[in-house]
Amino acid sequence: MATYRLLYASIEGNTQSFINKLQAVAEEKGDMIDAKVVGDETDYEAEHQPFVAIVPTYLTGGTGTGPAVIEIFTNALADYIDFEDNATLIRGVVGSGNRNFNDQYILTAKRYAKKYQVPVIGDYELRGTSYDAEKIYQSITETLGE
């Protein structure tokens, strides 16, 4: 049995819903997802094992992808990853968003990947499907190893 560490932000419940799907897939495979939601009230802690970050996309300031477009709502997760040596343990990012926003789809995940120099290992729209959960779970297991 393997345990995979995830850190995530969930603003409107979409990411939490997807985490529940991932946990169900892990359970079916005899594994476990150790997921921690990070928000403004979260106490910072030093992480002790590699993790994947799962981030929704919430933006303000335009319709493009340039610097005028500002991340909102996921800043606490970035601050948590920046705490102590946590950034040395991030191995990948999964992004969620709405495909209707074209170039801005999973823009937050792309920015996290660039900032922390890790790959975007998966993406899903809104709450994601069971198929998305299967596919992304596979990516998480490959990224974090056993």
Q: What tens-digit pLDDT sequence spans the chain (146 residues)? A: 999 999 999 988 999 999 999 999 999 999 999 999 999 999 999 999 999 999 998 877 666 677 777 776 789 999 999 999 999 999 999 999 988 888 889 999 999 999 999 999 999 999 999 999 999 999 999 999 86
Structural tokens at position 14: 């979409």
CATH number for the domain including 48?
A: 3.40.50.360
In a domain, 66, yes or no: yes
- List Cβ<8 Å contacts ≥24 apart for 139-142: 139/92, 139/94, 140/4, 140/6, 140/22, 140/52, 140/92, 140/94, 141/2, 141/4, 141/31
Assigned domain for 78 exists: yes
Please state the pTM of the whole predicted model: 0.93
Q: Is residue 146 part of a domain?
A: no
